[in-house]
Amino acid sequence: MVILTLNCGSSSVKYQVYDWRKKSALATGIVERVTQPGSFIKHKARGKGEYNLNRECPNHEIAIRLIMDTLVDPQVGAIGNVNEIMAVGHRVVHGGEKFSQSVTITPEVITTFEELQGLAPLHNPANITGIRAAQAVLPKVRHCAVMDTAWHQTMPPESYLYALPYEWYTRYGVRRYGFHGTSFLYTAKRAAVLLGKDPFQTNLVIAHIGNGSSINAVKNGLSFDTSMGFTPLEGLVMGTRSGDHDPAIAFYIMKVTGMSNADMENALNKKSGVLGVTEKWVDRRDIEIAAAEGNERARLAQAMEGYRIRKYIGSYAAAVGGIDALVFTAGVGERGPVTRAIATQGLEYMGIEVDPEKNRVSMTRNAETCISTDRSRVKVFVIPTDEELVMTEDTYALEQGTYDVHTNFSYSFQSRDYRNPEREADLARDLEKWKGMDRILARPK
């Protein structure tokens, strides 16, 4: 059984094709600059290397048709024909309070997503467009929605409500929703495996650090609190998002400059974060180089980002009554030792002690590593996320009628014997580059 997963953004479509019987990915790729001039596809099929093609994609349906054509291409493709695809899983950023688990997409479900567009105006419209486009290309297969917000539906009211007029919640849905839920689900389950614990007896703080970043407090295996809120703007210092700040600042700047609501929303989402501090860089690798060369703004951006993460680690560990492990994941979390070092500095009193050399050589998304010292009471793991696998397994289970909310459902990656053959194949290259990383590979207890 072949399962296709799609992650449709406003100007991109990311995809993976997975062979369920062989338990391996057949192909991955992305179409970029969808709806814009100069669109192109980057595609990699197992055993065939990378393939790039420039092709104008004025809409998402044409982009998805390009993906289908590429997947069945005799030279670079991964499947014989599109009829091999038995189901499609779609990432949907916002499910509001309507969904606490993945669902089969029906006209009623799409209507609900449309009603929620106001809560995620940058994401849900693109997700809906992608769903409709994929249904047009593959009309006879099951389409499923995997929501980023579903994981966080276990948060208690004291975590998800704001101290605002209660009517704003009841009438307009203003509350903390949280995002990156698919990533948190995967890493929470994997951390429990590495600890050798029942996932529902495990307390964690998980830091998903990338261009968009958030932290999740996990209490007894369930999401208890998370740093992103009503929108993905709240919380950590991010690539271009401000994260936490006094909301009155926006009123003040709009008053003295004449900025419009739209201008302010753009500034907070696209011109703030480490970009706003450095006024030049978003990529943390560029910031590391600049900081090493003595650029004070780069150093300040690093310090601010790391300090904000550290504050959340401490507050969330307190909120859940102590943690078994701290987990780093996503692009910067997985390959950003400088950020990890700053974020964990001075946490020894909490039992969190990172080994500098272990942290330095943990530079892979192809294996799980442990970067804490042997005497650290709290384990510190770097766990590469795998949102596509969660989407694939949810979609397969929905197709088979075996799916349930994660508290009543077991994933393949919860097994001690779980293996990812693609990552294992690529790990040798990383081990060769980063000497000593073989000694910090995390193994299930």
Q: Architecture of 198-383+419-440 per CATH?
A: 2-Layer Sandwich (3.30)
Strands (E), 102-180: 103-104, 142-147
CATH superfamily label, 2-147: ATPase, nucleotide binding domain (3.30.420.40)
Residues 205, 310 contacting (CB under 8 angstroms): no
What is the reported pLDDT for 445?
81
Q: How many CA atoms lie within 13 A of 135 on its CB side?
A: 16
47 - beta bridge partners?
Answer: none
pLDDT at 117: 79
Q: Is 303 helix (H, G, I), strand (E, B) or coil?
A: helix
Q: Are 213 and 330 in contact (CB under 8 A)?
A: yes
* Backbone dihedral angles phi then psi of residue 187, each to the nearest 5 degrees: -70, -30
Strands annotated E in 320-362: 325-329
pLDDT (tens, 9 = 90+) of the chain, 445 residues, equals 899 999 988 788 999 999 999 999 999 999 999 989 999 999 999 889 899 999 999 988 899 999 999 999 999 999 999 899 999 999 998 888 888 899 999 999 999 999 887 777 777 888 898 899 899 989 999 999 999 999 999 999 999 999 999 999 999 999 999 999 999 999 999 999 999 999 999 999 999 999 999 999 999 999 999 999 999 999 999 999 999 999 999 999 999 999 999 999 999 999 999 999 999 999 999 999 999 999 999 999 999 999 999 999 999 999 999 999 999 999 999 999 999 999 999 999 999 999 999 999 999 999 999 999 999 999 999 999 999 999 999 999 999 999 999 999 999 999 999 999 889 989 999 999 999 999 999 999 8
- Out of 19, 69, 73, 148, which one is annotated catalytic? 148
Q: Determine phi and psi for 110, rounding to 5 degrees.
A: -60, -40
Please state the pTM of the whole predicted model.
0.94
Phi, psi (rounded to 5 degrees) for 147: -90, 135
Domain 198-383+419-440 in the same topology as domain 2-147: yes
DSSP symbols for 381-422: EE----HHHHHHHHHHHHHHT----GGG---GGGSTT---HH
Write down the domain spans for the chain.
2-147, 198-383+419-440
Q: Please confirm, yes or no, whether 244 is among the known catalytic residues.
A: no
End-to-end Cα distance, the chain: 32
The one-letter amino acid at 203: N
Pairing of the two strands 24-32 and 40-45: antiparallel
Three-state SS for 236? coil
